[in-house]
Structure 1
């Protein structure tokens, strides 16, 4: 997995979301690897956003809401 600077993370996710197939995911973790996010593509419209670490939560969002 490639290291991406925080300033480039939004652009990297935006590009990767358009190329993901259903059931594929992209993950971003902090340097210490104790916190991060995972975005799983459910189908053409919906994504599962999972945040883990200090605060853990799981949300199902559409693409527009996810990028906000």
Structure 2
């Protein structure tokens, strides 16, 4: 598993999403592994976004909505 700096997380997801195949997932966890995000590609246009740890939520989104959700998660990290 490759380690990615938190500042590059959004760009890493942005590059990886278009080349994923159905059934493939990307997982990002904190250093302590108690919080994270999992993105699973269901089909051509739909992804399952699962955030766990401090905030728990599971959403089914298209790629545009998914990128917006990832931006929200990233902006929370910066403002906290």
TM-score tier by shorter-chain length is over 0.9
What TM-score comes out, normalization by structure 2 length?
0.82
Specify the alignment match of 1:7 in structure 2: 7
Gaps of 5+ in 1: none
What TM-score comes out, normalization by structure 1 length?
0.96
Gaps of 5+ in 2: 69-80
RMSD of aligned residue pairs (Cα, Å): 0.6
The runs of at least 4 aligned residues of structure 1 exceeding 3 Å deviation read none
Report the structure, 1 or 2, having the larger helix content: 2
Q: 1:19 deviation in Å?
A: 1.2
